[in-house]
Structure 1
Amino acid sequence: MIGIAGPPILAGLTRTRSHPDMSQKPPTPLLLCADDYGLAPGVNSAIRDLIARGRLTATSVMSLCPHWRPDAAALRALKDKADVGLHFTLTDQPPLGPMPTLAPDGRLPPLGRLMGWAYRGRLNAPAARAEIRDELSRQIAAFTDAWGAAPDYIDGHQHVHQLPGVRDLVVEALAALPGAYVRLCGEPVAAVLRRRVAVPKTLLIAGLGGGLARMVRARGIPANDRFAGVYDFAGKCPFTELMPRFLEGIGGGSGSRTLVMVHPGLPDDELRRVDSLVEPRRAEYDYLRGPEFAALLDRCNIRLTRFAGLLAG
């Protein structure tokens, strides 16, 4: 079975399975989430196209970016096909309001600096906490005002929602959004080592998430229990080879709440101006919209679903 739960999205596709016995098992649900909606027009249009094709089931919105509000209505036309959440951003972009401690020059710090502050305890200082809480509230409000509803979930641009001094404020915000879920980025070490893709980076991101995972479980906040999609964007390994590795071991049955992160986009001048990740976005978009990805889902007996489909199994 291919596509999101409901009517088949690829009528007439010839099905070939390398393991015929898998057809006797229920398909495994998978949440496929595209980050960075709002970053640039080419990113927005690529994400909308993939949602319309049934090749994505969630997208995370950078509501502080100027391309969110103008393109919110076009995404709203697809609201029944995908979850739409907040991609809480605390790096590299201008914040929506004054942050004299963390962004004194009107621009949020790069990730390395923010991480250093987090693990030295600087983000737990009263002034920093107040600024982060206020900016999170502003980004939620900017999302809600343009979307017409609260976000389905919250995650973090560059995974900042996992950092000390940030994660408890994210959990606080989630507790005020009934039904909203959160992205957890943990993976079993054995799975990361077996995949052999960006192992140090993947283990670092997974390790940062332990505190957040404990917090959301203690509060009963819904979350995925498996995650994949981290790579180095260097292009040494084609995305056509990466996605099968991300899905390795997922197919063949229900019971796992797996979320895979992707970053598709169409390069344009605005994207080149605001971000260094350009051509890998095109490679992801081309692969995700093509027949090779559809065949992979079929071969692995995976159906793409929204978060509610993960809960249903």
Structure 2
Amino acid sequence: MRRLILCSDDFAFSPAVSQTIADLARAGKLNAIGCMAGMPNWPTDSALLADLPPYVEIGLHLTLTEERPLTAMPMLAPDGILPGIGDLRRRIGHLPLDEIAAEVTAQFDAFMTVMGRPPAFVDGHQHSHALPGIRDIVLAETARRAPHAWLRNPADRLRAMLARPFRGKAIGSALHARGFARAAAAKGLATNDGFAGHYDFTSDYAALFPQFLRRPGKQHLVMCHPGDGLRENDAIGSARPDEAKALRALDITYIAAQEGLAFPA
């Protein structure tokens, strides 16, 4: 049977976001959590991941945009803050890949030091992990450090993306990730089959959610960003509690089954 992977990004973005994500996972509303291991509160927040249901996969959400890096990055982050995803895209072909490689290694180290094991999956904040140049670094590090992990492919089949809301955002992500799944397979690494969850962070999330499951893949990954509390410079801060409220209320197992998807196991 096809499987729904409902993955919350941004664990450790703030303590309040981490608490909300952990609570949802314990309530059977999530089965994957992507962790920002480069954040200062990651070692403390990670205690919330203890005793989660066994089907909840804990992965590494590489953070290469808009936050403070773990390593010195004088070319990419001269003021100590990583650039936005738009800047990374504009600089493709001219990125300081040696700096990025060192930062990716440091974030793997930070995850594995705390968790005592490799991540179950690897993805990137704002899908930065799939950009040309950066993807080669991420795939090589994953193959070396977590060869049994799967990676997020933020792309899907055109007909599937056209069947869902916010198709323009989905197609944009897919274009920047062209060739990612093939590159991962060439290194013996698995990826999800099917990807959704794009929206404008203002629309009714509960109403949108079933539409994310249209035309699902065999391992259909839906990203989400639930949370609570306020943190400075959080562009989607108002959407996080709305997503959390919707996920608590929705019968996700039933909605998934209507599309032939197993959830949460």
**Which range is displaced more, 183-192 or 164-173?**
183-192
Aligned counterparts, 1:1-313, within 5 A: 28-78=2-52, 80-118=54-92, 121-123=93-95, 128-176=96-144, 177-195=146-164, 197-233=165-201, 235=202, 237-250=203-216, 256-266=218-228, 268-269=229-230, 271=231, 273-305=232-264
Partners of 1:191 and 1:81 lie apart in 2 by: 26
Separation in 1 of the partners of 2:26 and 2:5? 15
Cα distance in 2, alignment partners of residues 204 and 30 from structure 1: 23
SS of the residue aligned with 2:163? helix
Equivalent residue of 2:18, what SS? helix
* Stretches of 4+ aligned residues off by more than 6 angstroms: none
Tell me by how many angstroms 1:179 deviates. Answer: 0.6
How much identity, in percent, do the aligned residues show?
A: 38
Distance 1:156 1:203 in 2: 18
The 3-state SS of whatever aligns with 1:122 is coil
Q: Measure how far apart 1:300 and its partner are.
A: 3.7
SS of residue matched to 2:34: strand
Distance 1:256 1:147 in 2: 29
TM-score w.r.t. the length of structure 1 is: 0.80
Shift of 1:180: 1.2
User: Unaligned 5+ residue runs, structure 1?
Assistant: 1-26, 307-313
Q: Give the conservation status (yes or no) of the 8 Å contact 1:160–1:166.
A: yes
Write the distance in 1 (CA, Å) between the matches of 2:124 and 2:100. 13
Decide whether the 8 Å contact of 1:60 with 1:87 is kept in 2.
yes
Aligned to 1:6: none
Q: Secondary structure at the match of 2:191?
A: coil
Compute the displacement of 1:298 (Å): 4.5
Please tell me whether the aligned partners of residues 54 and 81 of structure 1 are also in contact (alpha carbons under 8 angstroms).
no
| TM-score, normalising length: structure 2 | 0.94
**8 Å CA contact retained: 2:206, 2:247:** no
Which amino acid in structure 2 is aligned with residue 161 of structure 1? H
One-letter code of the match for 1:262?
C
CA deviation after TM superposition for structure 1 residue 193, in Å: 1.8
Partner AA of 1:68 in structure 2: W
RMSD (CA atoms): 1.7
Counterparts in 2 of 1:77 and 1:161: CA distance versus 1, 3 Å: same
Q: Which amino acid aligns with 2:175?
A: G
Bigger RCO of structures 1 and 2 (CA < 8 A, at least 6 apart) = 1
Q: Distance in 1 between matches of 2:251 and 2:184?
A: 36
295 and 180 in structure 1: CA distance in 2 versus 1, 3 angstrom threshold: closer
User: Aligned pairs, how many?
Assistant: 264
Task: Classify 1:141/1:79 alpha carbon distance in 2 versus 1 (closer, same or farther; 3 Å).
Answer: farther
Distance 2:122 2:133 in 1: 16
Query: Over alpha carbons, which structure has the higher Rg?
Result: 1
